[in-house]
Structure 1
Amino acid sequence: MIYDIRHVTTYSYGSQVSFARCSLRLKPLADFGQTLLSHAIEIKPRPAARTVRTDYFGTLT
């Protein structure tokens, strides 16, 4: 069985925001009985900087 999952998060502010720091943990787990075929995160508008790291629990952040 193959799933195609799309998730949309939208932020709305009362006035213009020049800076916001957000952490995403949206990569599906690949382990026993589940194979990850592909994964992508698209951010609009594109951020000035983007950092990818693995947190303490082994989750891609």
Structure 2
Amino acid sequence: MTERLDMILAKDGEGEFRLWACRGAGKGCARNEFRRQRKPCTDCVGPLDEKLTLAEVTDLLKRGDA
């Protein structure tokens, strides 16, 4: 079974595009469930370091470090 990792690409406060990881249903808010343009919320993790791989981000979310 593959796990789902939802990513959000949005501008930060300085106008630069940054990447956030969404915790998903039941672990975050339902804010992005039906939106066409998703935005990070307080339950999202990020902005993420550009050097992280998707596997490392998934591991962070599983461990709860993020």
**TM-score with structure 2 length normalisation?**
0.21
Q: Would you tell me which structure has more strand in proportion to its own residues?
A: 2
**TM-score with structure 1 length normalisation?**
0.22
Q: Would you tell me which structure has more helix in proportion to its own residues?
A: 2
Larger Rg: 1
